[in-house]
Structures are given as structure tokens and as C-alpha cells.
Amino acid sequence: MKDEDDTGLTVAQVIQMQVKDNDRCLLLAKQFGIDALLSRRFKYLSTGESRKVLLIQLLMNKPDLLILDEPFDGLDIDSRRTLSELLSSLHQQKLTIVLILNRFNDIPDFVQNAGLLIDCKLVAQGKKSDILSDSVIAQLSHSETLENLILPASDSVDAVPTLPPTLSPIILKDGVVSYNDKPVLHHLTWEVKPQQHWQILGPNGAGKSTLLSLITGDHPQGYSNDLTLFGS
């Protein structure tokens, strides 16, 4: 029986799935800061790391036209800056780039032209500086209509299972997750107490997705850890 770390494609294999070029693969991986991950299994990457790999896979083809739908989603601040700088350098090399974005703050500085889509219709297009002023107004106008939405009634309190008020819903003791002897979670003890709200922060590869996959039961190493969920 194979060890779970020995199954699935490596990052390098995914990147070169269509174009075999080790030198270009390494060059792009270094630009994105993931050259140390080339031998790791793709399925074990974080969301942000996976996004970088798929973008590099596209760039391996040296395309004339690059269309990216929400390319900055799942990337930390440094990775977003790196991607924006890389796209800017590609733009300077005369590569045509089309970005589909939901947030105005995600529009890179090098973008010269913009279009505004509302209800799947292109209602405005032109210079970015001209469009953005109108776009902000359109966005605010659209958000005001959300106040008139009628939300469905909440479930009855009696219909929602409840825990005893003193029982912690999540308890992880000395949690360990590693790949090829490289720790991702290293002896982590974490308890979510009743009525607590947590925000998990960290750069890509810090272990955020791994921790959550333990809690949801989606990680194979979850069953080898001392993890208590909702009292059981």
C-alpha cells in the first residue's frame, strides 16, 4: 500500500501538464515564490498556492491573450502584489490581458481600459479613469437596492440542535499534520469555546486550509489526531 504522500501529481507535473520545459517551470515558480513546492503533491497545497500553480501553468504556454477570472482570490497580500507586478511585466511585453474582477480595489495600476457589467450587460466601457467614477456610483446605487430584499424567515430556535452552554464545540490537542516529514501543523492545541468567534490569518502555506480540513473531516490525517467536535 502506497503512502498517501506518494500519490497524485507533483506541482512540477501539474505546471508542465501541457508544456514540458523544466527551465521555464523553475523560472516562473521562482517568480511566484513557490519553487520550494515543485516536488510537493498538488493536492496538499493551500488555496493560494494552488492558484499560483494554475496561473503558472497558463503562462507556460506563452499565450498571446490571457483571460483571468478573479485571479487575486485566495492570495495573500504579498502574493497579490507579486501577481500584479508579474501581470504588469507581461503587459509591458505586449501581452493582451483581460481581467474579470468584482472589486474595484483589485484593478491593477497598469490597466488602461475598463468596462462595467451590470446584469450581464456591458453598460459602459472606455478609459479606466473615466469609468471608475461612474462605476463607484453604480455600485453604491446597486447596493442600495439590497435594502429592499426580503430575507427568508429564520429557523425556529427549537428546530436547531444546541450544545450544553459550557461545552466547547472544537477541541484540538497537540495536533500534528506533516507531508514528507515537513510539518504543516506542529503540536497545535486549539479550543473554540462557546460563543467565541475566530478569524484564522496567515500567509499562503501557513496551514489555514489544513486546519479547517481537519475540523470538517476532509483531511486523512484528522483521524490520527486528538480532535473533539461538538462533544464527541
pLDDT in tens, 116-156: 887 888 888 889 888 877 756 566 546 645 556 666 777 67
Among candidate residues 62, 90, 106, the one where a domain is terminated: 106
Q: Which element (helix H / strand E) includes 3?
A: none
The chain-wide mean pLDDT, for the chain, equals 82
- Average pLDDT on 52-81 reads 87
Q: Is 201 helix (H, G, I), strand (E, B) or coil?
A: coil
pLDDT mean over 70-76:
81
The enclosing domain of 60 has a CATH number of 3.40.50.300
Give a yes or no: residue 119 inside a domain.
no
- Given a contact cutoff of 8 angstroms between Cβ atoms, the answer to whether 177 and 46 are in contact is no
172 plus 90 within the same structural domain: no
Number of domains in the chain: 2
Q: What residues make up the domain containing 23? A: 7-106
- Domain annotation covers residue 42: yes
The answer as to whether 22 is a domain residue is yes
DSSP string, 131-192: HHHHHHHHHHHHHHHGGG--PPPPPPGGGS----TT--SEEEEEEEEEETTEEEEEEEEEEE
pLDDT at 147: 58
- Give the pLDDT band of residue 25 (cuts 50, 70, 90): very high
Residue 2 has pLDDT above 50, yes or no: no
Q: Look up the pTM and report it.
A: 0.57
Q: Give tens-digit pLDDT for 180-222.
A: 677 888 888 999 998 888 988 887 778 888 888 888 888 878 7
The whole-number average pLDDT for the span 83-100 is 88
146 domain-assigned: no
Share of the chain above pLDDT 70, in %: 86
State the burial class of residue 107 (Cβ atoms within 10 Å of its Cβ: 0-12, 13-18, 19+).
middle
Quote the pLDDT of residue 217: 82
Question: pLDDT-derived band of residue 17, with 50, 70 and 90 as boundaries?
Answer: very high
Tell me, rounded to whole angstroms, the distance of Cα 213 from its chain centroid. 14
Residue 4 pLDDT level (bands cut at 50, 70, 90): very low
Q: Does 99 lie in the same domain as 167? A: no
Written as nine digits, the cell of 219 is 483531511
Whether 2 maps to a domain, the answer reads: no
12 Cβ partners below 8 Å, 6+ apart? 22, 25, 29, 38, 39
- Domain closes at, from 106, 123, 148: 106
Mean pLDDT value across residues 111-118: 87
* pLDDT tens-place string over residues 26-38: 999 998 889 999 9
Residue 136 resides in a domain: no
Look at residue 24 in the predicted model and tell me its pLDDT: 95
Mark whether 102 and 168 lie in a shared domain. no
Which tops the pLDDT comparison, 205 or 51? 51
